[in-house]
Amino acid sequence: MATTEELTRRFRDFARTGTHSRAPLYSKLAAAMADDPDVVRLLQAAPEPQQIPVLLFASVHHLLLGGEGIRLASHYPNLSSTPVDDDPVGAFREFVLGHADELTELISTRHTQTNEVGRCAQFLPPFGLLAAEVGTLAHVDVGASAGLNLLLPRYSFDFDPGGRVGRESTVHLRCETRGNVPVPTEMPHIAASIGLDLMPIDVGDDEEVRWLEACVWPDQADRFARLVAAIELARAAPPDVRRGDAVADLAAIVEEAAIHGHPVVTNSWVLNYLPYGARLDFVAALDRIGAAMDVSWVIAEAPGQTVGLPVPTTDPPEEITVVTLVRWRNGERTVQRLGTTHPHGYWFRWEPADA
């Protein structure tokens, strides 16, 4: 269990590192809560890997989405059309301490869960390359959560420059391209899409969906809106997400997908949650699959947080999202670093082929 001093440091680090521009509300709250031991101690109810500020913030957000805390909710841009601009710290502390039992229950039983559909913009260019090479694809998304990234063919995309891909959709993703990103001229044919997750989200379960929405940072109202739209698409035709282990159950899922097309495994900001040894086991599992059949793997992870993956990186490893394409053809593995991206798919910087 993390000490109060360690939890205080985590709140201060969160407030300092990268949250000011895209999450000013959480940045302000984290800086203030770092000096409030009564609040930070609530995180001691969580399993050690989840004793992080965003779990507390998601738990609070979950209750607000359920209709509680009108005063605090008025500070949340995704919950109020005209959020108040006075200091939210007092309202936040009052709400947290007044709902300590409910929050402790959430903190002790939930874990942060992200299904960022914007990351489909990271996958589409590699999918286009692979479709041109091998034809029909079969998508296997590891760490699929609610399976929303499996709906990639049902979204529309605008790459700037690069043009539009896909039919009109209620989920429309925009991505700035930097360098010669090979934007496909049409949506690749994906004949099957299967997700794998240790604790998948059921899009038909209102309570589970509310938790998924709660994990979106409220300052990022655009992300929240497109998540809600993607959930509606998923409810109309639910994606195929299987409960299972990323290592133990991967081969069976890939073999099933391969009946329908060339299997392409994807993961985005997932493998950082696996211990180092489990990441090595995951790579070994893919090597075994690649020895038996042709398969491709699109990695969208931060190398600094996923040591052990076959990703060409800097020294020390980068903390930015790096997109890498790994191919197994006739039993031989090749690795191609494609570029770097915004973690939520707002831009994609392509790199030269010899980078």
Asked whether the beta carbons of 307 and 317 are under 8 A apart, the reply is yes
Tokens standing for 254? 């890939």
pLDDT value of residue 18: 55
Q: What is the DSSP string of 158-196?
A: EEETTEEESS--SSEEEEEEES-----SS---EEEEEEE
pLDDT digits (tens, 9 = 90+) for 63-76: 999 999 999 999 99
| Nearest Cα residue to 59 out of 7, 113, 115 | 113
Q: What are the residue ranges spanned by the domains of the chain?
A: 4-109, 117-350
Q: Please tell me the number of Cα atoms within 13 Å of 19 on its side-chain side.
A: 21
Q: Which residues contact 251 (CB under 8 A, 6 or more apart)?
A: 285, 288, 289
pLDDT value of residue 355: 42
pLDDT value of residue 73: 97
Q: Which residues contact 314 (CB under 8 A, 6 or more apart)?
A: 303
CATH code that applies to domain 117-350: 3.40.50
For 263, the enclosing helix (H) or strand (E) is strand 262-268
Cα–Cα distance between 141 and 154 in angstroms, integer? 16
Tokens standing for 64? 């607000």
Residues of the chain with pLDDT under 50: 354-355
pLDDT value of residue 354: 46
